[in-house]
Amino acid sequence: MINQQWTNICNHKGWHSFLHLHKDPIQTFPENSQKSSNFNSFQTMSIIAEVPGFLQVLSNGLVKRFEPEISPASDESSGHGYKSKDVMIDSKKPISGRVFLPETPGSSSRLPVLVYFHGGGFCIGSTTWLGYHTFLGDLAVASQIIVLSVDYRLAPENRLPIAYDDCYSSLEWLSEQASSEPWLQRADISRVFLSGDSAGGNIVHNVAVKVIQGRAQFHIKIRGLLLIHPYFGSEKRTEKEKAGEGTGEVAMNDLFWNLSLPEGSNRDYSGCNFEMAAISRAEWDRFPAVVVYVAGLDFLKERGLMYAGFLEKKMVEVKLVEAEDQSHVYHVYHPKSEATNLLQKQMTEFIHRF
């Protein structure tokens, strides 16, 4: 039910605005909120922002999330050629992840590692969602790779750059655990790839920037970036955004940015507007190869094209791949579709170039 509701939103049906201001208070108990521990009874509060079926931001700062269907990890054979395991990356923050391992009886060859960051406007989403679990498990089999999918902390409780820092921490964890974690015994950490969809695609770029600008000595080597329908923005509207200002897609984007940007920042924050980051020529020379996947029916396609063009100007190796008749994050909502199968094949081809 929730998956269908969100699919309708992505297809621009049956809604008017993601930002709701309510004059009448509602009775609610924030049992799913990340801050619910301070409440022992029902409280009277109003909703000030809402993604129907997924997220409510309440007037007292509480955030309620309503999870769609989820899938547990299983270290037993899934019947689909892979098994999965949940791991704790940093218990203090907390940051967790899920490892997907393809079943390859009789083989001991090293496997590339793909670190994946889920989408959701930095405010919703989880590697436990059924769509992500299915897509990433199948990708591990199709590409013969180990997948580490990361659950970073979410906005608005944890505004940017926390998601970037958390996902960077997942690379440190991978570097440190590769020699001791049994599920990473076959990991070839000289062939690591970063991937993610929507806000996760944005995170891929910003984590890569942190890596090329950082002084940390990883034991891992990042070979390439695979951005799926990346979520970027700027104060200056694109022509498509100007035409749709005040309507569904623009309102949705603005809401998520308003909830996730650092306090006092606007859409020219470097995490949102990739043109604003201060990156030297020498750093661009260290930037990994990139493939950008866009969908023909996706409102964010324009931003994906702009990102690929920007990288070309910086002399970064970049490839653009379009799924002409598909919508935003179709691979999550339809993980068993022919279009998703094609995407997995395209990702496999990119990964095995290295």
pLDDT of residue 246: 65
Least confident of 31-40, 90-99, 226-235, 340-349: 31-40
- pLDDT tens digits along 160-186: 999 999 999 999 999 999 999 999 999
Count other Cβ atoms within 10 Å, centred on residue 96: 19
Residue 6: helix, strand or coil by DSSP? helix
Whether the per-residue pLDDT at 31 is higher than 80: the answer is no
Decide which of 104 and 203 is more confident. Answer: 203
Tell me which residues are annotated as active site.
198, 298, 328
Neighbour-count burial for 165-183, b at 16+ CB within 10 Å, e otherwise: bbbbbbbebbbebbeeeeb
* Mean pLDDT to the nearest integer, 281-290: 97
163, 196 contact by CB (below 8 A): no
Q: List the one residue out of 145, 251, 123, 258 whose CA is nearest residue 191.
A: 145
Cis peptide before 25 (omega within 30 of 0): no
Share of the chain above pLDDT 90, in %: 77
State the Cα–Cα distance between residues 13 and 6, nearest whole angstrom.
10
Strand 222-228 to 289-295 pairing:
parallel
Higher pLDDT: 35 or 257? It is 257
Confidence of residue 92 (pLDDT cuts 50, 70, 90): very high
Query: How far is the CA of 306 from the CAs of 47, 89, 321, in angstroms?
Result: 35, 33, 13
Strand ordering across the sheet containing 47-51: 47-51, 55-58, 63-65
3-state helix, strand, coil in the chain (%, to 5): 35, 25, 45
- For residue 221, which of 110, 314, 144, 139 has the smallest C-alpha distance? 110
pLDDT of residue 44: 60
Give the confidence band of 245 by pLDDT, cuts at 50, 70, 90: confident
Q: What angle do CA 226, 116, 104 make, to 5 degrees?
A: 100
Residue 324: what residue type? E
The reported pLDDT for the residue numbered 230 is 98
Determine how β-strand 95-102 pairs with β-strand 82-90. antiparallel
The span from the CA of 342 to the CA of 203, in Å, is 24
Give the pLDDT score at 247.
72
Selected residue with higher pLDDT from 245 and 84: 84
What confidence tier does 5 reach under pLDDT thresholds 50, 70, 90?
A: very low
Q: Which helix (H) or strand (E) holds 342?
A: helix 338-351
pTM of the predicted protein model: 0.89
Single-letter code of the amino acid located at 79: G
Place of tokens 């509480």: 62
